[in-house]
Amino acid sequence: MDGVVEVVREATRRRSFAVISHPDAGKSTLTEALALHAKVISEAGAVHGKSGRQGVVSDWMEMERARGISITSAALQFSYRDTVINLLDTPGHADFSEDTYRVLSAVDSAVMLLDAAKGLEPQTLKLFDVCRHRGIPVITFINKWDRPGREALELCDEIVERIGLQPMPLTWPVGSAGHFRGVADLSDGSFVRYHRTVGGATAATEERLDAETAQAAEGAEWAQAVEESELLAASGGEFVPERFFEATATPVLFGAAVLNFGVRHLLDLLVDLAPAPAPRADADGDIRPLDAEFSAFVFKVQTGMDPAHRDQVAFARVCSGMFERGMVVTNATTKKPFATKYVQQVFGQKRSTVDIAYPGDVIGLVNASALRVGDTLYSGKPAVRFPGLPSFAPAFFAVARPADLSRAKQFRKGVEQLSSEGVVQLLRSDLRGDAAPVFAAVGPMQFEVAAHRLEHEFSSPVRLDRLSYSAVRRLGDSRQRNLVDSGRRSEVLTRSDGTELALFEDEMSMRILLRQHPELELEPLVATGQ
């Protein structure tokens, strides 16, 4: 009984959330600023190692640091106010949206980061749609208020008009975008004035003033902030926590992550308001209680986080029970046991051994070559399996061949590894053979990542020859494979999950073949595993 109480108690202390945004909205900078305010790092850097400081803790891949963008999700775990934070930083680039979608399956809430000058952008809208579909409550942080941008009311109106969420501001900016003085704390009417630190390297100091003192100090800018916030509250923007949990409204905060302004408000809100882990439904729709025996699902697999060892880490979200290092669990996919001898908590690229974990935690299972994205792990009986994670319809295709035939063994090993991680989808056919697999991707930058990793992690430079296919369907009857393969501008390739994909140079080529063979069964390719 004590163990059951402990699991439930520890679960209530967990907050697991993802940060979603369009590229360049400042997502990795915000991630680092949160860690800085939680005092788990002492100095903030920049993606390019500003002033000789280390790079952003969540951007650990060489390509990320070189380009200044996030191209892989990262997991950070730290404590703040007796709460365990599991923060998942997601790729900002649209080409890696499949990775982001998987991450969103492992969290209980999300922070939607908006650029004060740009507002809601296409990638943000796509990611919000996933949150809406999953019922994930969203907190909005309007970033870069230290730079010229749009009006605060205009940005809030856009949230209502474009995604149908009612903004519920908890802070309001004092001073227009580019002239950021601080924020009005709408919970008590006080003014929080920020003071810059050198290069934003340390947490900004805060000075709290009452409304009367703020009026005297800031004059018209304070009066305007109060008037605008009251106007929004009167038009339905008053803060009602239940609307946040129902995912019909979003708390709104303003800040400047690069200066560490407004970040503490966000961290406190996550602790005070964001939902703790809740019981999850398994693949059969049955709810698995938090205090049931241990269960978790793998949402990400990553190799090469430690260049010295090239080990493989499977990131798993704990859904129920207490995890203890060394326990032997069952992989629901293979029905085989998996020994959890090496388990780590992750802080960017840095790792430390973990002995115990609870629902909501993200654990890194090391040397996990037997695990794939979507696998469920559990202990005891009966067996449990959580819904699989989606594979999306690819839009780009390239034949992969080793540039150096003497490295063929390393090439094959690397290709299998990239496929298991979901970096690219792997397609094969008898016609092309195993020596020339086809990489399929949602976005072309995935090819760059695959080629870079094959060369630098597996010492196998690769030659990628793009294929001109632009239309893809699922073949409904494998006996009709020859009908597609016999076409001049089409072929059938088999994905690693067994799905047979019919590829066509364009929609016209597909329609011509269908007119010639009306019996041909072609189906739209939808995300699998949902």
pLDDT tens by residue, 283-334 = 999 999 999 999 999 998 877 655 555 567 889 999 999 999 999 999 999 9
Helix, strand or coil, per DSSP, at residue 446: helix
What φ, ψ does residue 438 adopt, rounded to 5°?
-105, 125
Q: Is 334 annotated as ligand-binding?
A: no
Q: What pLDDT shows up at residue 65?
A: 47
Q: Which range among 126-130, 181-185, 285-289 shows the weakest confidence by mean pLDDT?
A: 126-130
Closest by CA position to 35, among listed 52, 59, 11, 12 = 59
pLDDT > 70: percent of the chain: 87
Residues 424-433: tens digit of each pLDDT: 899 998 888 8
Total Cβ atoms within 10 A of residue 53: 14
What's the rounded Cα separation, in Å, for the pair 19 and 59?
A: 14
**Mapping DSSP to helix (H, G, I), strand (E, B) and coil, where does residue 260 land?**
coil
Asked if residue 128 has pLDDT above 70, the reply is: yes
Give the pLDDT confidence score for residue 484 in this predicted structure: 92
CA distances 258 to 33, 45, 91, 185, 197, Å, are 7, 10, 18, 20, 11
3-state class percentages of the chain: helix first, strand second, coil last, to nearest 5: 30, 30, 40
Assign 44 a pLDDT band (cuts: 50, 70, 90).
Answer: low
Amino acid at 65: R
- And the tokens for 461? 């430079």
Amino acid at 442: V
Q: Which residue in 187, 14, 21 sits closest to 84, CA to CA?
A: 14
SS3 of 464, please? strand
- Look at residue 500 and give its three-state secondary structure: strand
Say which residue, 196 or 41, is predicted with more confidence: 196
Task: From 434, 454, 301, select the one nearest 377 (Cα to Cα).
Answer: 301
Tens of pLDDT, residues 498-509: 889 999 999 999
The span from the CA of 65 to the CA of 56, in Å, is 8
Coil/strand/helix, residue 393: coil
> 189-193, 273-277, 429-433 — which is least confidently predicted?
429-433
Give me the chain's average pLDDT, please: 86
pLDDT at 337: 95
What pLDDT sits at residue 231?
Answer: 94
Report whether 92 belongs to an annotated binding site.
yes
pLDDT interval class at 348 (50, 70, 90): low
Q: What is the pLDDT of residue 53?
A: 43
pLDDT at 281 over 90: yes
How high is the pLDDT of residue 380? 93
Task: Write the DSSP assignment of 294-315 as a string of letters.
Answer: -EEEEEEEEE-SSTTT--EEEE
What are the residues facing 490 on neighbouring strands? 504
Q: Using one digit for the tens of pLDDT, what is the confidence trace for 81-123?
A: 999 999 987 765 555 667 777 888 899 999 999 999 999 988 7
pLDDT of residue 307: 56
93 is in an annotated binding site: yes
The partner residues of 376 in beta bridges, in order of sequence, read 297
> Among 25, 104, 66, 124, which residue's Cα sits nearest to residue 448?
66
List all residues 6 or more positions away from 449 whose beta carbon is below 8 Å from its beta carbon. 63, 71, 72, 423
% residues pLDDT > 90 (the chain): 58
Determine the pLDDT at residue 391. Answer: 67
Asked if 37 contacts 17 with a C-beta cutoff of 8 angstroms, the reply is no
- Given this model, what pLDDT does residue 147 score? 95
**Does the annotation flag 286 for ligand binding?**
no
- Quick check: helix, strand or coil at residue 233? helix
Please report the sign of the dihedral spanned by the C-alpha atoms of residue 445, residue 449, residue 454, residue 460: positive
Q: Tokens standing for 251?
A: 């708390």
Which residues are 174's β-sheet partners?
182
Residue 487 pLDDT more than 90? no
Q: Which two tokens stand for residue 350?
A: 């840095």
Does 262 have pLDDT greater than 80? yes
Beta strands 328-331 and 337-339, pairing class: antiparallel
CB under 8 Å to 308, separation ≥6 — which residues?
A: none
Q: pLDDT confidence of 62, banded at 50, 70, 90?
A: low
Alpha carbon distance 520, 432 (integer Å): 23
- Among 392, 319, 346, 332, smallest CA distance to 101 is for 392
Q: Mean per-residue pLDDT for 500-519? A: 93
Are 266 and 29 contacting, i.e. CB atoms less than 8 angstroms apart?
no
Per mean pLDDT, which range of 240-254, 307-321, 389-403, 492-506 is the poorest? 307-321
What is the predicted pLDDT for the residue at 468?
93
Domains, the chain: 9-71+90-96+108-272 (3.40.50.300), 280-378 (2.40.30.10), 396-523 (3.30.70.3280)
Grade residue 421 by pLDDT with cuts at 50, 70 and 90.
Answer: confident
Check if the beta carbon of residue 166 is closer than 8 Å to that of residue 137: no
Give the Å distances, CA to CA, from 93 to 24, 143, 156, 444, 491: 9, 18, 24, 11, 30
**Environment class of 15 (CB within 10 Å of its CB; exposed 0-12, middle 13-18, buried 19+):** buried
* 37 annotated to bind ligand: no
Q: What is the distance between the alpha carbons of residues 493 and 400, in angstroms, rounded to a whole number? A: 14
Greater model confidence, 442 or 326 = 326
At 524, is the pLDDT very low, low, confident or very high (cuts 50, 70, 90)?
confident
